[in-house]
Amino acid sequence: MTSPRPAADWHVTDALALRYAEGTAPETDAWSLEKHVESCSPCAGRVSAAVRAGAAGPALASVRAELLASVGHRPAPVTTVAHPLGRWARLWWAAGPALRGSWVVAVALVLGGAFGLAYGAGFQGARSWLLALSPVLPLGGVAVSYGRHADPLYEITAATPSGGLRLLLTRTAAVLAVCVPLLTVGGALLPPVAGFPGAAAWLLPGLALILATLALGSFVGCRAAAATLAGGWLLAVTGPLLAPATADPDSAAALVRYFSGPVAQGSWAAAALACAALLVLRRRSFDHLETR
């Protein structure tokens, strides 16, 4: 019986490089390939040639030409040490268009409007409105951060294993990294409302809605899923806020039931787990979701 070859003897074959370039390589093989080419220059050149010769070749050539034109055709200096700014640039790209677009401005405007109403106009319900809107604000960031409509490099990323659910989750985490501190701290700084839960009560509902958007998005796309869930949430939650408290004393209590208490929070946690399980089952659908 022949013993298996040492890992150091393994190299990327032409067939595997071609499947990787076409986006049809199994995920485990793609991970092994990506790890291997970090330390093997010949295999890295073989994979690079396969990608350039494939369907993504014209797009890569166009991006390269645009990048060279943007820097005046000046080649970047060659160095053997990775510059920290380069690492931050890659992280900034991975975070997605949402953090570089109008969505962040929209979140800032919502927060600014809440503070203006609370401290400028003396509106006592500003914190209630911010709490009601907080769970759906991240959905906008998810909707505009991934897909053909949002990412000019989508054709390139879709051809790699990193272009599916992995990249979508990375960008969703970036959206949450913006929303969680801004909305939670902003809500805590607003004047409290008697009988309403704390500023962090939106976190579990928000997480459940995001996971539901991703799970539903595996069927219909992230934009349609986000619009559907956000519309349903706003119809259900803003009704109690629009009803005058004097006309309906239970209107405020109706809103509180969405956020406060172990039953409500436990239900949101269960919904988040169920959506996460469905997302795991549907993870392959993101690989070619928007290539049709």
Q: Is residue 63 part of a domain?
A: yes
pLDDT at 258 over 80: yes
In a shared domain, residues 28 and 125 = no
Are both 132 and 254 inside the same structural domain?
Answer: yes
At 59 the pLDDT is: 74
Residue 105 lies in a domain: yes
Q: What is the average pLDDT score of the chain?
A: 79
Residue 3 placed within a domain: no
Count of domains observed in the chain: 2
Domain-located, residue 252: yes
- Residue 276 and residue 135 in one domain: yes
Domain that holds residue 115: 93-287
Dihedrals φ, ψ of 207, to 5°?
Answer: -65, -40
- Evaluate whether 204 touches 265 at the Cβ level (below 8 Å): yes
Q: Is the pTM above the cut of 0.75?
A: no
For residues 210 and 253, membership in a common domain is answered with yes
Residue 6 is assigned to a structural domain of this protein: no
Q: pLDDT band for position 139 (50/70/90)?
A: very high
Same domain, 112 and 31: no
Query: Do 26 and 146 lie in a common domain?
Result: no
Q: Which of 46-55, 56-65, 176-185 has the lowest mean pLDDT?
A: 56-65
In a domain, 80, yes or no: no
Q: Is the pLDDT of residue 194 over 90?
A: no
Q: Is 34 domain-assigned?
A: yes
Q: Give how far the C-alpha of residue 21 lies from the chain's centroid of Cα atoms, to the nearest Å.
A: 24
Same domain as 57, residue 112: no
Within this chain, do residues 198 and 276 fall inside the same structural domain, yes or no?
yes
**What confidence score (pLDDT) does residue 158 get?**
60
Give yes or no: residues 59 and 98 share one domain.
no
Same domain, yes or no: 128 and 273: yes
Asked whether residue 263 is domain-assigned, the answer is: yes
pLDDT tens digits, one per residue of 68-108 = 666 555 554 544 444 454 555 555 555 666 666 678 888 99
Residues 139 and 259 in one domain: yes
Q: Are residues 41 and 120 in the same domain?
A: no
Average pLDDT over residues 145-159: 68
